[in-house]
Amino acid sequence: MKEKGSSTILVLTIVIVLTILSSGVFYLIQHSSKYIALNKKKDLEKMALIKKAGRVVELLSLDNTPYSNAVTEKQALESSENGDFIITVADVSSRYNLNWIIGEELKSTGFLKSGANHYDFQSLRDQSGPLYDFSRYTDFVEAENIDRYFTPYNYFNINVSAELVLEKLYYIRTGDKDGASRFRDSIKTFRQKSKKGSIKMIEPEDIKEFMGEENYGRLYPVVNAQPVMNVHFIPEDILLILLRYFKVREPEKKANYLMSLREVSELSVDNLKQILGEEYYTKNRVHHYIGTITWFWEITIRKKDGEKNDYDLKWIITRIPQPVSEQEKEQIVYRLVKEEFAQ
């Protein structure tokens, strides 16, 4: 049996995590090292794991194609010269999130249990608020499907998140009930302006103006307008569901094409426009679901100490969405969300 210890910034909800993330990865490396309270050998092993994980984060930060994270990039990190270390890197954000999914869209996925009602799901979520542990929703979605197709690790895109969720999130972050209600009303009014063939959406370059200076400061980057999933890592089932839901032409053919391409090449937003149709991609909410950036990574480092003992370190890190005005600098900033040790 493994002896476990954890230092977790995320305790209850991803909202809390994204609210308190303020210190850099290397500060957190020092912080983690400082509070290791085991014997000297374990201290040294854990410090070595932390150093290796920090190097993986550094390599991710130095990506020379900052607007795309590909399967080939993940494979390169895992297969590089790592000595006694075994490195695993996984995208953990390119799935649906029960904290923000709109009820009607949950129904359309086919993951809702037979006999379950999406209105009842929304009612329970409104009572609960954002959760890290989705076990409360197993009356609505099978536990196996929750594990496979849903994650608490992604941001709240203002175009795909339920209005009541955004209101609740505003209140959690500010304590301003009236302000939260006004924020929800502004989103509802904006969405009601949509017409058939002309969907109203808030793009990354418009979100600050839409929110206003004060709300933007309160909510960004937790609420943003970036695509929530990376096409390179979306489960095939979800990719096909999204293409069908948004009525992309020949969804099966295009899903298969994207699946084959992503295994051998790095896709860009321009590639997505070409494959799905530029006008369609940009004028439909599908581009708020499907993009090319991974926002949350899970990094696992394992090391054998020569005595048949394994030392494991697991990090969840998040990439902080940069405001459009700062994207030209091509800065990639990561923060540590969760840390676990095991031996």
Rg of the chain in Å (alpha carbons): 21
- Contact between 43 and 35 under an 8 Å Cβ cutoff? The reply is no
Angle between helices 177-192 and 163-174 (to 10 degrees): 150
Q: Quick one: pLDDT band at residue 135, thresholds 50, 70, 90?
A: very high
Do 254 and 215 fall within a single domain? Answer: no
Choose the final residue of a domain: 176, 192, 224.
224
List pLDDT tens digits, range 246-294. 999 999 999 999 999 999 999 999 999 999 987 777 788 999 999 999 9
Do 287 and 320 fall within a single domain? Answer: no
The Cα–Cα gap between 152 and 16 comes to 12
Do 200 and 136 fall within a single domain? Answer: yes
List pLDDT tens digits, range 80-104. 667 788 999 999 999 999 999 999 9
Residue 8 has pLDDT above 60, yes or no: no
Do 123 and 214 fall within a single domain? Answer: yes
Share of the chain above pLDDT 70, in %: 83
Choose the final residue of a domain: 198, 224, 250.
224
Please name the residues in contact with 181: beta carbons below 8 A apart, sequence gap of 6 or more: 167
Residue 142 has pLDDT above 60, yes or no: yes
Higher pLDDT, 141 or 278: 141
**Residue 296 falls within a domain, yes or no?**
no
Do 137 and 56 fall within a single domain? Answer: no
Higher pLDDT, 322 or 23: 322
Q: Is the dihedral of CA 161, 162, 163, 169 positive or negative?
A: negative
Helical H segments across the chain, by residue range: 14-20, 25-34, 40-61, 71-79, 103-109, 118-128, 143-149, 163-174, 177-192, 207-211, 213-219, 236-245, 251-262, 269-276, 278-282, 286-289, 324-327
- Contact between 103 and 122 under an 8 Å Cβ cutoff? The reply is yes
Do 156 and 233 fall within a single domain? Answer: no
The number of residues making up the chain comes to 343
Choose the final residue of a domain: 224, 248, 273.
224
Q: What is the pLDDT of residue 111?
A: 97
**Residue 71 falls within a domain, yes or no?**
no
Most confident of 26-35, 126-135, 329-338: 126-135
- Of 81-95, 145-159, 231-245, 299-313, least confident by mean pLDDT is 299-313
Do 139 and 251 fall within a single domain? Answer: no
Do 208 and 248 fall within a single domain? Answer: no
To the nearest whole number, what is the mean pLDDT of the chain? 86
Q: Distances from the Cα of 123 to the Cαs of 16, 98, 136, 151, in angstroms? A: 22, 13, 13, 20
Q: What is the pLDDT of residue 292?
A: 97
Mean local confidence (pLDDT), 54-83: 88
Q: Are strands 223-224 and 156-157 parallel, antiparallel or unpaired?
A: parallel
Q: Quick one: pLDDT band at residue 194, thresholds 50, 70, 90?
A: confident
Q: Quick one: pLDDT band at residue 240, thresholds 50, 70, 90?
A: very high
Q: Quick one: pLDDT band at residue 197, thresholds 50, 70, 90?
A: low
Do 260 and 151 fall within a single domain? Answer: no
Q: Quick one: pLDDT band at residue 30, thresholds 50, 70, 90?
A: very low
Residue 37 has pLDDT above 60, yes or no: no
Do 132 and 234 fall within a single domain? Answer: no
Do 48 and 129 fall within a single domain? Answer: no
Q: Quick one: pLDDT band at residue 195, thresholds 50, 70, 90?
A: confident
Residue 329 has pLDDT above 90, yes or no: no
Q: In whole angstroms, what separates CA 219 from the centre of its chain?
A: 16
Residue ranges making up the domain that contains 120: 103-224
Q: What is the pLDDT of residue 303?
A: 83
Share of the chain above pLDDT 90, in %: 67
Do 202 and 108 fall within a single domain? Answer: yes
Mean local confidence (pLDDT), 70-79: 90
Mean local confidence (pLDDT), 26-38: 47
Count structural domains, the chain: 3
